[in-house]
Amino acid sequence: MLLDARRDRVVVLPASAWSVLCHADGTRDVAGVVAAARRFGATVDVAGAEALLDELEALAWLGDGAPEGLLEGDAQAIAPDDRRWVREMVAGRYRCDGRGDCCRSYPTISLTPADVHRVSAAMADDPMLAHRSHRVFLPTVGSAPTPMRAIALVDGACRFLEHDGACGVHRHGGAAAKPIGCAWFPTRLVDDGVEIRAAPVVECVCVARPDPSAAPLLPEIQACALPLGITLSRVPERVRFGGGREVDRSIAVATLEGIVARDPARALWTWSVALGQGEAWCGVPEGAAIEASAVARRFGEVAERARIRAELESTWRGPDDMVCRRLRLLAVAAGMLAAPSVAALVVEAEGDATLERHVFDAAVFSRSVLVGEDVARAVGDLALQMWLARATAAFVGVEHDVTLRETPLAAVAATWRAHRLGG
Ligand code: SF4
């Protein structure tokens, strides 16, 4: 399956096509590509390879020539003398229930080169890994090799996820054999200019039920010792809040920390609106009226986006897949919220107050809403997720996954991020 994430397009190809494409890296002519693919057992001829490449060219997916070097992706610039200790959100600790929902939720599961070696050693009896590793560890972009790899998905889930919900790599090689991103998931690290903070992304049922007496989210560690493959986001020195406007980082952090709210969704939306008007960097007005038509307008966009993503994901996951069911449900719920009268009701309704508070606290602790290009948008999106979760709870049935059934906000957050429902 080839995914064009920017244009929401998927092409599903026969498995042998990948053996052709991973050799079509700009270093061979078509006959050479076919010869290389045949070495891996692909039954393909020159005419078939040309037809495949013509199809991709028509989609504007072919580039000419080989890359000059390995495609590195974004470099992780952590100064080797940065000895700051990472500060953990202790209230974000949780106990994993081992049901593996998170291993089915995301379209990309990344691996570092060291992960590839550890996983291969742990799964030494896996014949596909031994003889067809190019079908298991895929480039994260394009067809040429990339240092970071993505694990192939099978039926929408990581191919190492076993039928009982356990991680096969963990089962065969122990926790230390797992990819670093999996071992550290769901911890998100953010440098706010003073401290490096670690808080969980609340996107599955176990993380949504915190237990401060559980094991720490991460080992005690200094910034310079963070392993390769762990992403460190940064709050920029000048925080951008939409329309090309900026504010100093210290003011942004102080305002975020100063939000005291009985209803986090209401406070976040009010702040987002004020930021959109170019103000509110020294306090968030509580109790301001919320314009339901503005909320409804955003939900109209979310509903359309969820519908498009549900259709796209169904082409390769199949309509009964967990992610497709989630997306369809969110499209229905967001579609209802696109009516201002319904949006007004949900804004005033009771949600899962404990979970909403936890998600809000994690966002404040990690400063995650301050790292992007548009803080007003990020803050407003968090409010929309809380309201969408309130509405979603009314539609959930036994056919839906446990995260959606038990902690809808966590399922909404995971789907929102993975499928960019905020646009
Ligand atoms: S490697 Fe294991 S923990 Fe990571 S996504 Fe796959 S099954 Fe889940």
pLDDT values of the chain reduced to their tens digit, one per residue, 423 residues: 888 878 888 888 888 888 899 888 888 899 999 999 998 888 899 999 999 999 999 999 988 777 666 555 554 567 888 999 999 999 999 998 877 678 988 888 999 999 999 999 999 999 988 888 888 999 888 888 788 899 999 888 999 999 988 999 999 999 999 999 999 989 999 999 999 999 999 999 999 999 999 999 999 999 999 988 888 899 999 998 877 788 899 999 998 998 877 899 999 999 998 888 877 666 666 667 899 999 999 999 999 999 999 999 998 888 899 999 999 999 999 999 999 999 999 999 988 999 999 999 999 999 999 998 899 999 999 999 999 999 998 899 999 999 999 999 999 999 999 999 998
Co-location of 36 and 110 in the same domain: no
Q: For residue 27, give both structure tokens.
A: 């270093």
Report the predicted TM-score, pTM, of the whole model to 2 decimal places.
0.88
Does any ligand 1 atom lie closer than 6 A to the CB of residue 158?
Answer: yes
Q: In angstroms, what is the span from residue 248 Cα to ligand 1's centroid?
A: 39
Co-location of 229 and 240 in the same domain: no
State the Cα torsion 25-27-29-35 to the nearest 10°.
-80
For ligand 1, atom 8, name the residue with the nearest CA.
103
Residue 196 lies in a domain: yes
Q: Contact at 8 Å (CB) between 294 and 273?
A: yes
Does any ligand 1 atom lie closer than 6 A to the CB of residue 148?
Answer: no
Q: In angstroms, what is the span from residue 101 Cα to ligand 1's centroid?
A: 10
* Most informative mutation of 182, 187, 206, 322 for ligand 1 (most atoms within 8 A of CB): 182
Residue 184 lies in a domain: yes
- Residues whose CB is less than 8 angstroms from the CB of residue 136 and which lie 6 or more positions away in sequence, other chains included: 126, 128, 129, 151, 152, 159
Read off the amino acid at residue 400.
Answer: H
Q: Judging by DSSP bridges, how do beta strands 137-139 and 86-88 pair with one another?
A: unpaired
Residue 249 lies in a domain: yes
Q: In angstroms, what is the span from residue 366 Cα to ligand 1's centroid?
A: 24
Per the structure, the count of domains in the chain is 3
Co-location of 183 and 135 in the same domain: yes
Q: 161-171 burial by CB neighbour count: b if 16+ within 10 A, else e?
A: bbeeeebbbbe
Q: For residue 304, give both structure tokens.
A: 């359309």
* Most informative mutation of 126, 138, 158 for ligand 1 (most atoms within 8 A of CB): 158
Q: In angstroms, what is the span from residue 102 Cα to ligand 1's centroid?
A: 8
Give the domain extent around 392: 235-418
State the DSSP H helix or E strand holding residue 386, giving kind and residue range, or none if neither: helix 375-392
Q: Contact at 8 Å (CB) between 122 and 233?
A: no
Residue 74 lies in a domain: no
Q: Which atom, in ligand 1's list, is nearest to the CA of 183?
A: 3
Residue 80 lies in a domain: no
Co-location of 278 and 396 in the same domain: yes
